[in-house]
Each structure stands twice: as C-alpha cells, then as structure tokens.
Structure 1
Amino acid sequence: MTRQQAIVADLLHACAHPAVAGAALFALSADAIERARVGAARRRQSIGAFVAHSVADFARVASERDKALLARRMRGAPAPIVAGLEAILENPPRA
C-alpha cells in the first residue's frame, strides 16, 4: 500500500464515524460546510452524521479510479484529510 493509499484508507475509516466527521467540520471551507448543512437537512440528519454517511457511501461504492482521483485531490494538500472530505462532499457517491 502506498502512502497516498494509506491516507485515503485513513480518511475512509476514521471519517465514517459521526463524531470524527463532526469534529472535522471545523476545518472545512464555508462552501463544504454549506453543502453538508443542506444535505443533512434534506436527510434530517445531524451534519456530522451526514458527512459520516457520505464518507461511508463513498467507501462502499467508489471504484479504484474514484479512489485514485480522491488521492490526487489529497496529494500535496496542507491538510489531506480535509481536502478529501471536501472532495467527497463536492461529488457525492452514487450508490
């Protein structure tokens, strides 16, 4: 497993938990927070639960190509996990 694959795996494992996803919200951009807020309201969930479900859905349905694109987005970012969460929220998985 490459370092980048390990970082993606860490994101998909840790941020699939609502408490971790909720804590990560403080680091997200205003646009990503707004997307999460709207999505959470639509599903009648807390924002943390919505983000966690989005991450879990991505982990479940993402192809290897999707994961490679996510890794590319995270590579070189000052905060790779934050960049990955924002990428997942920008392009929600399609189950």
Structure 2
Amino acid sequence: MCLIAEIIHTCSHEKVAQAAVASLGSEFAGRVGVTAETFGLSVGAFAARAVREFEKSVGEQEKKALRAIMDRTDQPILTGLQAILQPIVDVDDPASELQALINPEESRAGQKLASAEIWPKRPKSVDFSFG
C-alpha cells in the first residue's frame, strides 16, 4: 500500500489520528489542539477530518510533494501526517480560513475551499525538533 494511502486509511479514524498526533510531540499536538478547539472538536476528530479533506482536495502535484517530504524518513507516516496538518495549524485565523474543511455546507455559500489555500503547491519544510 502506498504510504499516503496508509495515512488516509489509518488516520481517517479519530482514535488513531489522536494517537498519531500525540506521538508527534507535545508542542505540535498542542498547536493541533488549539486549532481543533476553534471548531469544538477533539484533536482526533479534527486530524481525521483534515486527512480525509486532504485526500479529497489535493492533486497529484501535492501528493508528489508529500511523498518527497516522507521519503527516507524514519517514520514516514507520522512525517506525512505532520506535513498534512502543519499548514492548517500555521494559519493565523483558522476559524475563517478552514470553515470549509469542517463544515463545507456552511462556508462560502457552499463552495469548497480550494486545496491550494490549505495545502500549498510546495509544502513548507517541517521542523521536527520538539525542544
């Protein structure tokens, strides 16, 4: 199974996503938690929705960039999950920018948020130092 497909398959489940986010370190998990709270969701529910939205919204170019980030890392699935979540938790005002991610029927007159608004064509580099 492709590693991206494995992320989607496993981290689309709330409890698995919550455990995976927790294993990324307390600093990053805390930032995900703050973003999740913006929507009244648990970390696991938020991360699972973000992963499912990533699957539906991105094209091959974004997937290729994600594969490059995951390539030759010790924990490619966790690296990939962090790369998917990083641009979301780094948004200054997640409530306004990510409403479509959580409640697409209530945002922008029902229009989907463009994937480039959340996942840029060239993902940001991910800092894995948790100290």
TM-score normalized by the length of structure 2: 0.63
Of residues 67, 74, 78, the one that matches 1:82 is 78
Whether 1:63 aligns to 2:77 is no
Whether 1:45 aligns to 2:41 is yes
In the other structure, the counterpart of 1:26 is: 22
The offset of 1:27, in angstroms, is 1.5
Of the structure 1 ranges 61-70 and 28-37, higher mean CA displacement relative to structure 2 is found in 28-37
TM-score normalized by the length of structure 1: 0.85
> Percent of pairs identical after alignment?
34
The offset of 1:41, in angstroms, is 0.5
In the other structure, the counterpart of 1:72 is: 68
Structure with greater Cα Rg: 2
Higher relative contact order (CA 8 A, sep 6+): 1
Distance in 2 between the 1:32 and 1:80 partners? 17
Between structures 1 and 2, the one with greater helix share: 1
Gaps of 5+ in 2: 89-100, 102-112, 115-131
Corresponding residue SS for 2:79: helix
Gaps of 5+ in 1: none
Q: Which runs of 4+ in 1 moved over 6 A?
A: none
The offset of 1:46, in angstroms, is 0.5
RMSD over aligned CA atoms reads 1.7
Q: Is the 8 A contact 1:22 1:51 kept in 2?
A: yes
Of the structure 1 ranges 29-38 and 65-74, higher mean CA displacement relative to structure 2 is found in 29-38
* C-alpha distance after superposition, 1:48-86 (max 9, x if no partner): 101111101101101111111111111111101110111
